[in-house]
Homo-oligomer: A and B are copies of this chain.
Amino acid sequence: MEKFELTILGCGSALPTTRHFATSQVLNVREKLYMIDCGEGSQLQMRRSHLKFSHLNHVFISHLHGDHCFGLIGLISTFGLLGRTAPLHVHAPENFGSMLQSMLDFFCKGLDFNIEFHPVDTTRHTLVHEDRSVMVYSIPLRHRIACCGYLFKEKELLPHIRRDMIDFYHIPVCEINNIKNGKDWVTEDGQVIPCSRLTTPAAPARSYAYCSDTCYLPGLSSLVGGVDLLFHEATFLHEDLQRAQETFHTTALQAATLARDSHVKALCIGHFSARYEDEAVLLDEARSVFAHTILAKENLNIKI
């Protein structure tokens, strides 16, 4: 099966701890890498997760708190040292554009590749990026500053050719792509063999939704409903609900409630407050509502 897998580079929250890096993740879709947020240390964590820098062409930033974006300038700087030539696309809230440009002008003179900045309207659910593998949509969130999540929808894969049928009907190789794309086969004596008999369906297209940082938004169900994996922040335990509300964060219980109500297949929680020495308490709380919950962890790889 073609790759659609998530690697957690960092899942701590704003304050550094000995246990976590700041927020960053990489989604691998068919060997193309999509980074979501880029906290300090993300480039180091990419190395540790053995993710290839050259396969990363898109970075999506949820919001401009440092623990979600301070690693970007270092990553770009390293790409420059490595002689990168392919453009890097940065999708982020609009006001980041000029700041990023100032930092590039100061720290990264003479790059051999372009940084293409794509402003994201965090207040709307819109298509942010599309290529042959995925469609990426923004998910409006509510945090102390402009913030959005990202929804990755894999594009339908072509069906698999049935080698036995191809051999049986002596179908030439040059026809295979046509058949995959839906063309029926007509034998020499005029018999029509429907393409569905010559192929087996591809695995269903997969989807991943990333929601961090945000207060609890039950309405997100309509956007993330049924995804294969939902990452949702769970900064606090529900006993710290007041603190969660004050800081526009979510509790583990709330994240799990959203997962349950959205009928997602699995939930991964992260963005843990530094106050919890052992995050198993967050996992336990979430699982009490939604069993298919996993705890984010640095360098964890989740096959979707």
Q: Which residues of A does B touch, CB under 8 Å?
A: 14-18, 21-22, 40-41, 43-44, 46-48, 64, 66-67, 70-71, 73-74, 77-78, 81-82, 99, 102-103, 106-108
Contact = CB atoms under 8 A, between A and B. Distances in A.
Contacts of A70: 40, 70, 73-74, 77, 107
A124 B243 CA distance: 51
Contacts of A17: 47
A213 to B, nearest CB: 14
A14 B78 contact: yes
A92 to B, nearest CB: 13
A60 B210 CA distance: 38
A15 to B, nearest CB: 6
The 3 closest A-B pairs by CB, nearest first: A66-B77, A40-B74, A41-B41
Contacts of A18: 44, 47-48
A35 to B, nearest CB: 15
Nearest to A105: B99
Residue among A14, A21, A46 with max Cβ neighbours from chain B (10 Å): A14
14 contacts: A14-B78, A15-B78, A16-B43, A16-B74, A18-B47, A40-B74, A64-B107, A66-B77, A66-B108, A67-B77, A70-B73, A70-B74, A102-B102, A103-B103
B107 A16 contact: no
Contacts of A78: 14-16
A21 B40 contact: no
Nearest to A12: B44
Contacts of A107: 64, 66, 70
Given A14-B81, A70-B70, A70-B73, 17 more contacts: A14-B78, A15-B81, A16-B46, A16-B47, A17-B47, A18-B44, A40-B41, A40-B70, A40-B74, A41-B41, A64-B107, A66-B107, A67-B74, A70-B77, A70-B107, A99-B103, A99-B106
Contacts of A44: 16, 18, 21, 40-41
Contacts of A21: 44
A121 B124 CA distance: 49
A41 to B, nearest CB: 5
Contacts of A103: 99, 103
Nearest to A39: B74
Contacts of A108: 66
A21 B40 CA distance: 11
A248 to B, nearest CB: 15
Nearest to A50: B18
Contacts of A99: 102-103, 106
A77 to B, nearest CB: 4
A106 B95 CA distance: 9
A92 B22 CA distance: 26
